[in-house]
Structure 1
Amino acid sequence: MAKAAMKGTKKAAAKPAAKAKATTAAKVSAKTAKPAAKATAKAAPKAAANAAPKAAAKAAPKAKAKSAKKPGLKLSMLRPSVNNMTVRVFARAAGFDHAETDAWGLTRTPEFLARNPAHLTPMIEDKSLPRGVLWESCAIMQYLANKYGLDKFYPKAPAKRAMVDSAMFYLIGTLYPYVARATYPALGFPQYAGEVGHSDAHADKKSEAQKAAAAAIAEPLEVFHSFFRDGKPFIGGNNPSIADIRLAATLEFLAVIDYELPKWAKDYMAAIEKKLGKAYAEPAGDVRGYIAHVKAQAAA
């Protein structure tokens, strides 16, 4: 009986001990859980705070791209001119937010001459320029491409840029003078001092000079095809460069004398217009409209 009593006593004592252990464990667990919950609660805002900048950083480029503003540009121009057409096409193709002022009849005014004593268009206004203005179509395109990093139109790589420069200078120094001599008399444009068309030479001599200039166009034109393009779609490669824009605009004038362009030149001009779309078609439309007007007047 004593043994049984002892066993019962031990069992009874074990139960409270087990309960005590369980209670103690529960309390410890509760105490541990509270700090853990607090730590989790504290960590949650930190994690959210850390995640927020990352999410914002990912979203930032998209928001920035949408809010990016186009560079502003003030341009004085003459609609019938291919020199002016060049910069008008470039400004559109490059995405400038430009304002055009028609300077027809204004280039000899005191106000215009005070800013531009050469009385030439196209002309841009830019406060960062030493004199606030810049004329000459090629110089304008080079300046804007350099300022805004428009490598697509004017490559930075020295060798590629040299070819674009060479093509433009060859055009200005060799091809364009022939085009001007051949087309200006028909367009009714005044020619430069010293030119046959500007002199007192007999009309027959002027006509001969005009025909000689038209005949001379074929040789330098072929140089652009065989040398500067060299099997590529454009002088600039797969995309039109500023030299391509200048060349295509120049060739627009030849329509006034019904000059028969070689097939490659026709395809080349069509490819540029297709590539640049409205950026080319709209300014070209002004030149073509003027040429059509001149030809209609001559036929009347």
Structure 2
Amino acid sequence: MAKAATKGTKKAAAKSAAKVAKPAAKAAAKAPSATKASAKPAAKPSAKVTAKAAPKATAKAAPKATARAALKAKAKPARKPVIKLSMLRPSVNNMTVRVFARAAGLDPSETDAWGHTRSPEFLARNPAHLTPMIEDKGLPRGVLWESCAIMQYLANKHGLDKFYPKAPAKRAMVDSAMFYLVGTLYPYVARATYPALGFPQYAGEVGCSDAHPDKKSEAQKAATAAIAEPLEVFHSFFRDGKPFIGGSNPSIADIRLAATLEFLAVIDYALPNWAKDYMAAIEKKLGKAYAEPAGDVRGYIAHVKSQATA
């Protein structure tokens, strides 16, 4: 009896356990689908909210980012190449490079070499003891003198076609004008003005020879009279009705010519009207880039003339 009761009890317990297990299993089986169902509605709204919010956030962030970039650009301007330039302020040869470097935006670092061109340190770098002189690591000997060569080099290096055109024909005219100036016009200007300026002249020039003062005066007058012819060549041939030798903008030849003509003020040379207008147009076009170095030359000329009349 005890055994039978036990068996009956076990069967009854098993049946009731099975009844309880079936609903639990069904519930468990349904639970994942319910979870998925509940997950889907939750995911969709959040995705929509994110999609709607993202464009707004991007739209708001974009102007801010642009503004920040603009501020950074203003705060950190592009670095300009620095040119180390040794120069003499009263000299128009030096004025030429000083004007060009400023007009080209090359930010020259200038050193006044007055009284130092014959020093051992200067001669070690520049045995010709001439100014203007630039220092640049890209040069075979590290330095370069002669104003026209310096302008050509810098224009080529920095792609300054505005001042020194790449087109062979146009460039040839600029080169021709500069070489004609250096070989013909400038020697006349030097002979006419250097004695009045107190500048030493090159070996063999009448101004520094042992010739009689009358002969020196004769040579100076002859040089002054000779200036008119090459000057007219610049007007009629090289400019040929254009505002400048370079066309609508001053070229390196124009800068060299205008600087050269500055010296003629020391002998009160009567420039033709076209030359006066030409020099004024270059100064107006180049602004402070021309006016500041020209001011040093003009100041020295005014000083020399005041000493002569004192």
Q: Shared topology, TM-score over 0.5?
A: yes
Deviation of the 1:36 alpha carbon = 8.7
The answer for the alignment partner of 1:243 in structure 2 is: 253
- Please say if 1:105 is aligned against 2:115: yes
Residues 197-246 of structure 1 deviation map (CA, whole Å, 9 limit, x = unaligned): 12211111111111111111101001111111111111111111111110
Instruction: Could you list the structure 1 runs, at least 4 aligned residues long, displaced by more than 2 angstroms after superposition.
Output: 30-67
1:274 and 2:284 are equivalent in the alignment: yes
CA distance in 2, matches of 1:219, 1:140: 27
- Unpaired stretches in structure 1, ≥5 consecutive residues: 1-26
Which residue does 1:76 correspond to in 2? 86
Q: Aligned letter for 1:86?
A: T
Q: CA deviation at 1:41?
A: 4.0
Amino acid at match of 1:219: E
Q: Which residue of 246, 265, 269 maps to 1:255?
A: 265
Which amino acid counterpart does residue 292 of structure 2 have in structure 1?
Answer: E
Tell me how far apart the structure 1 counterparts of residues 148 and 215 of structure 2 sit (CA, whole Å).
Answer: 32
- Give 1:174 deviation, angstroms: 0.7
TM-score with structure 1 length normalisation?
0.82
Q: Secondary structure at the match of 1:67?
A: coil
How many angstroms does 1:31 deviate by? Answer: 5.0
Correspondent of 2:243 among 233, 236, 249: 233
Output the aligned Cα RMSD: 2.8
User: Cα 1:64–1:152, aligned 2, differ >3 Å: closer, same or farther?
Assistant: farther
User: CA 1:298–1:70 in structure 2 vs 1: closer, same or farther (change >3 Å)?
Assistant: same
**Which residue does 2:141 correspond to in 1?**
131
| Counterpart for residue 38 of structure 1 | 47
| Residue in structure 2 matched with residue 12 of structure 1 by the alignment | none
Within 1, Cα distance between the matches of 2:104 and 2:87?
17
Letter of the 2:206 counterpart: V
Partner of 2:309: 299
Deviation at 1:38, TM superposition (A): 3.4
Distance 2:142 2:244 in 1: 33
Q: How far apart are the structure 1 equivalents of 2:107 and 2:159?
A: 16
Residue 179 of structure 1 and its aligned partner are, at CA, apart by: 0.5
Match of 1:88 among 91, 95, 98: 98
Q: CA separation in 1, counterparts of 2:170 and 2:68?
A: 36
Which residue of 2 is the match for residue 17 of structure 1? none
Alpha carbons of structure 1 residues 45 and 89: separation in structure 2 relative to 1, 3 Å: same
Q: CA deviation at 1:63?
A: 5.8
* Structure 1 residue matching 2:202: 3-state secondary structure: coil
Q: Could you say which structure has the larger radius of gyration? A: 2
Bigger drift between 201-210 and 116-125 goes to 201-210
2:168 to 158, 161, 174: 158
More displaced stretch, 173-182 vs 52-61: 52-61
Mapped partners of 1:171, 1:32: distance in 2: 88
Partner of 1:179: 189
| Amino-acid identity (%) | 82
